[in-house]
Amino acid sequence: MGKRTFIVIGLALTILFGGAGALYAYDSSGTDKIAKGITVGGVDIGGLTAAEARTRLNAQLLEPLKKDIVVHHAPDKWTLTAEQAGLKANVEELVSTALTRSSEGNFVSRGYRKLTGGSVETTLDPDVSYNAAAVDKLVQAVRKDVNRDATNASMSISLAGFKKVDSRIGLRVKSGKLTKAILASLTSPTAKRSFVAETEHLKPKVTTGDLAKKAGTILVVDKSKFTVRLYKNLKFVKQYGIAIGAPGHDTPEGTFSVQNKQVDPVWSVPNSPWAGELAGSTVAGGIASNPLKARWMGVTDGVGFHGTSDDGSIGSAASHGCMRMHVKDVIDLYPRVPVGATVYISH
């Protein structure tokens, strides 16, 4: 091999090692920069230094995540701050991982990539942590303030008439859906942070419209006026005169119901001093010695409505506790009143 050949080989080696040295020096000059093509949760940090990447990730990833979560249900609102949620993102770890990915390979491949404008196509997913119990606490607060049971329509009776309490539809927050939406937003910087608490309606078992039908038949006894008024579905039908219990045999007051009914009722004589020799006996129905004439509608403890032959007692306190009626009146009332009908007695 001639001298000229050695010169050519030497020159080639010098160029080769010189180029490699230059390539190594070029690669070493950018070791603190993140390779192009690396993104974190949609945020491009390629070509940035570690410090620049931290700044960008804090601004575009962490700061949006730190915005308050707000739940609305007019007229109220509830807020969950990032601090309350214990929200954290692994920014330092992500930057470190990006630098590690950028330094993979050797100085030749890295230098070539930088010289040619190549990139490392890598997407890193941020690890966002939070306190799920804080979200549960928020949703529970919304439920506590918004949820309400359905209220059935109701009614009270007095001598003045009927007082209705309207039914009300209940509300229940769709808590599962709300919780899921909030949890998803906590880990996404682009997700919305404001939510409307959706609710579902709870229907009452008895609506205001049902009330009249459910009220059925009602008898209102006004002891001070010696009358009984008949109502059907809360509408007045008819009024009848009555006699009530004499002093010492007071007709009981309160709300009762018709317990039993009988045509030409048998009289089971109370075992009381006023019954005399009949006390404790039974008198057949439909005979002259039986004071319970024509019809019987029992209310409570042997007290009820019945016909009387003593028409002059109607409009006075004359009975032993029962509500006496003219025979024609009790016969007229009897088929209008079913067992179970409400009986209200007052004065």
The secondary structure of 156-224, three-state, reads: EEECCEEEEECCECEEEECHHHHHHHHHHHHCCCCCCCEEECCEEEECCCCCHHHHHHHHCEEEEEECC
pLDDT in tens, the chain (347 residues): 555 555 444 444 444 444 445 444 444 544 579 999 899 988 999 999 999 999 999 999 899 999 999 999 999 999 999 999 999 999 999 999 999 988 875 545 545 555 555 567 889 989 999 999 999 999 999 999 999 999 999 999 999 999 999 999 999 999 999 999 999 999 888 899 999 999 999 999 999 999 999 999 999 999 999 999 999 999 999 999 999 999 999 999 999 999 999 999 988 777 777 766 666 677 788 898 889 999 999 999 999 999 999 999 999 999 999 999 999 999 999 999 999 999 999 99
Token reading at 228: 């009984």
Q: Which residues pair with 304 in a beta bridge?
A: 298
User: Which CA distances in Å does 230 have to 250, 321, 326?
Assistant: 22, 20, 15
Q: Range(s) for CATH 2.40.440.10 in the chain?
A: 216-346
Coil/strand/helix, residue 325: strand
pLDDT in tens, 85-126: 999 999 999 999 999 988 875 545 545 555 555 567 889 989
pTM: 0.65
Catalytic residue among 72, 73, 249, 322: 322
Residue 81 pLDDT? 96
322 is catalytic: yes
* Residues 6 or more apart in contact with residue 25 via CB below 8 angstroms: none
pLDDT in tens, 189-232: 889 999 999 999 999 999 999 999 999 999 999 999 999 999 99
Residue 180 pLDDT? 97
Q: 126-135: b or e for each residue (b if 16 or more CB lie within 10 Å)?
A: bebebeeebb
Q: What is the DSSP letter of 289?
A: T
* Residues 6 or more apart in contact with residue 234 via CB below 8 angstroms: 155, 162, 211, 212, 215, 218
CATH number 1.10.645.10 given to 216-346: no
CB 157 within 8 A of CB 345: no
Q: What is the DSSP letter of 148?
A: B
Catalytic residue among 306, 320, 326, 347: 306
Identify residue 103 by its one-letter amino acid code: S
Token reading at 258: 């018709």
Q: Which residue bears the tokens 């940090």? A: 45
Burial of residue 182, with CB atoms counted within 10 A of its CB: 0-12 exposed, 13-18 middle, 19 or more buried? buried
